[in-house]
Amino acid sequence: MNPAQRVARTFVLDTNVLIHDPESLARFERSKVVLPLSVIEELDQFKRLNDDRGYSVRQASRQLDRLRSRGKLSQGVTLDHGGTLVIEYRRAEKLPPQFEGTSVKKDNEILATALFLKEKGESVVFISKDMNLRIKAEILGIETQDYEREKAPIQGLYKGWREAVVGQAEIDKLFKDHRLGEDAFPDLRANEFVILKSAENPSTSGLARFKAGQGLAPLTAQHKPWGIKPLNVQQRFALDLLMDKDVSLVTLIGVPGSGKTLLALAAGLEQVFESRLYRRLLISRPVVPVGRDIGFLPGTKEEKLSTWMGAVKDNIEFLCDTSGQVTQDEVLTDAADIFESDKIEVEAVSYLRGRSLPRMYIIIDDAQNLTPHEVKTIISRAGEGTKVVLTGDPYQIDNPYLDAASNGLSNLVERFKGQKVAGSVKFDKIERSGLAALASELL
């Protein structure tokens, strides 16, 4: 079909699309973008929130206000990509009676606007992160899609390591010369690990990491930060990245109980308290409840955060316990001393915005609950000499508008693969306990 003969499409955006990506208006090139008036009303409700949603909404609202200088939004203004933006207040006169209900009134109003444009003869595509709303749109005969611009290929998500069968001579050369040239594996990415297996003797193997401009280098260092030894090959890969000062961004993804948070904390404590490579350890998690929320928590910010940081505290107490330097009765006291130290800081992700964080070791736990925009905001806070570690499981998401492919952690892994300053390791083995591993397999 000739491009000039293609039917122009009208993209009707849901509120959650603007919250997920405040720059989404610029993503639909040479198309008509419609925001129902109900979306503007919902943005007005969220703009006062002192969290990531409120920040995204305020960004989107400022952008809309700037666009008013180009004309009346109700009549349509030209966007930089050649398309137009319209704020539409009209909607279909009547929806099916099953759609009536005050609890979802705004959602139905947004659908009614999309239906109105469809009845006018426009080629409408409704874009929403809300799965149920997409189902309702389809029932009304409206074409609907998820907002997929920042989705990662979750089935083929970059693992950060691979296996390769080579001749015994190549393994011998690797450990004799301490390197293999880049031409040995031309498709390897920077900081990707390789498990080399001998073709002649399958029981013989070697571990190596590809360094851009140098080739494959064998893993010879036995890192034991804070007394923690790696229990499997993937944990050894992770520690090699975590303890390398030249790698500024590390992503650890995989199943619960694989040791992601524990290794990140052990490496952080070692490099902050012992080698003093970084001046402070900052630990943060997105405040997203699992299951039914218990409502507002009393107390100061620190007291509120202590509830959300339970997993971090558990890991630090475990590290203190297994280090052999304290007795059982001293474990809690020692862990408390670490948390009270001026070298460790616990913060909610929402409060990182606007800060500049030089020479810090930053851990973002449960990063799968962050949007790509939020991850970008966090990483852009990193100052000179700072290392950022993000951990999480893309399949354990509590944010209702994210999935395994659209969350910020998966997106970050794909975007940064091959960068000299970044490395990633995907875990697939549970080391927490035999019971945890069995539960993951059977339940």
What confidence tens digit (pLDDT) does each residue in 350-371 have?
Answer: 777 778 889 999 999 999 999 8
Q: How confident is the model at residue 295 (pLDDT cuts 50, 70, 90)?
A: very low
d(C-alpha 149, C-alpha 83), whole Å? 17
With 70 as the cut, is the pLDDT of residue 443 above it? no
Which architecture characterizes domain 224-442 according to CATH? 3-Layer(aba) Sandwich (3.40)
The answer to whether 346 and 302 are in contact (CB under 8 A) is: yes
Cβ distance 24 to 13 under 8 Å? yes
Intervals of CATH 3.40.50.1010 along the chain? 3-145
Place of tokens 């460790």: 344
Furthest C-alpha separation in the chain: 78
Mean pLDDT calculated for residue range 292-308: 49
Local confidence band at 142 (pLDDT 50, 70, 90 cut-offs): very high
* pLDDT category of residue 432 using cuts at 50, 70 and 90: confident
68 pLDDT exceeds 60? Answer: yes
The model's pLDDT over 370-379, given as tens digits with 9 standing for 90+, comes to 988 889 888 9
Tell me, what amino acid is at 68?
R
Q: For residue 148, name the pLDDT band (cuts at 50, 70, 90).
A: confident
What is residue 398's predicted lDDT score, i.e. its pLDDT? 83
Q: Average pLDDT over the chain, rounded to whole?
A: 85
> Among 50-59, 75-84, 307-316, whose mean pLDDT is lowest?
307-316
Question: Using an 8 Å Cβ cutoff, are 287 and 351 in contact?
Answer: no
Structure confidence at residue 310 (pLDDT): 66
Q: Specify the pLDDT at position 335.
A: 67
Q: For 129, what's the count of Cα atoms within 13 Å in the CB-facing half-sphere?
A: 21
* pLDDT at residue 322, as a whole number: 67
Angle (CA) 161 164 170, round 5°: 120
Percent of the chain residues past pLDDT 70, beyond the cut = 87
Helix or strand or coil: residue 328? Answer: helix
In this prediction, residue 101 has a pLDDT band, given cuts at 50, 70 and 90, of low
Would the pLDDT of 247 be above 80?
A: yes
Most confident of 103-112, 301-310, 386-395: 386-395
Which of the 8 DSSP states describes residue 229?
P
DSSP alpha helices (H): ranges in 10-51? 15-20, 37-46
On the question of pLDDT at 303 being above 70, the answer is no
Instruction: Pick 20 or 324 by higher pLDDT.
Output: 20
Q: Picking from 90-104, 215-229, 424-438, which range would have the lowest pLDDT averaged per residue?
A: 90-104
Least confident of 197-211, 244-258, 329-343, 367-381: 329-343
| CA 350-154-9 angle, 5° bins | 85
Query: Which residue in the block uniquely carries the two structure tokens 């893993």?
Result: 219
pLDDT above 90 for 312: no
Domain with CATH 3.40.50.300 in the chain: 224-442
| Rounded alpha-carbon distances, angstroms, from residue 6 to 3, 9, 61, 76, 169 | 5, 9, 32, 21, 59
- CA–CA distances in Å: residue 314 to residues 50, 72, 98, 135, 284: 29, 56, 48, 41, 15
According to CATH, the topology of domain 3-145 is Rossmann fold (3.40.50)
- Non-local (6+) Cβ contacts of 405 within 8 A are 148, 151, 152, 153, 154, 394
Q: How far is residue 371's CA from residue 19's CA, in Å, rounded to a whole number?
A: 9
**Could you tell me which of 263, 243, 268, 266 has the C-alpha nearest to residue 253?**
263
Q: What percent of the chain has pLDDT over 90?
A: 50
Strands 360-364 and 77-78: unpaired
